[in-house]
Amino acid sequence: MTMFPADILLAYLAACFLVVIAPGPDNILAISRGLSQGKPAACLSSLGAGLGIMCHTIAAALGLSLVIQASPVAFIAVKVIGGFYLLWLGYKALTARNMVSFKPAEHLSLPRVFFTGLLSNVLNPKPGLFVLAFLPQFVSAGRGSVTIQMLVYGAIFAVMTAVIFSVLGSCASRLSVWLQRRPRVGDGLNVGAGLTFIAAGLSVLALKQRA
**Residue 71 within any structural domain of the chain:** yes
Q: What is the DSSP letter of 108?
A: P
**Residue 196 within any structural domain of the chain:** yes
How many structural domains are present in the chain? 1
**Residue 145 within any structural domain of the chain:** yes
Closest CA to 120 of 148, 156, 93: 93
Q: Tell me: the pLDDT tens digits for 85-95?
A: 778 877 877 88
Q: Which residue did the predictor score with more confidence, 142 or 10?
A: 10
Q: What is the DSSP letter of 3?
A: S
Q: Tell me: the pLDDT tens digits for 60-81?
A: 888 765 665 667 777 777 678 7
Q: Residue 43's domain spans which residues?
A: 24-205
Q: What is the pLDDT of residue 104?
A: 46
**Residue 46 within any structural domain of the chain:** yes
**Residue 19 within any structural domain of the chain:** no
**Residue 185 within any structural domain of the chain:** yes
Q: Tell me: the pLDDT tens digits for 86-130?
A: 788 778 778 876 665 555 445 778 898 999 889 888 887 777 777
**Residue 139 within any structural domain of the chain:** yes
Report yes or no on whether pTM surpasses 0.75: no
**Residue 166 within any structural domain of the chain:** yes
Q: What is the DSSP letter of 4?
A: S
Report residue 20's pLDDT band, with 50, 70 and 90 as the boundaries.
confident
Q: Is 136 exposed, middle or buried (0-12, 13-18, 19+ CB in 10 A)?
A: middle
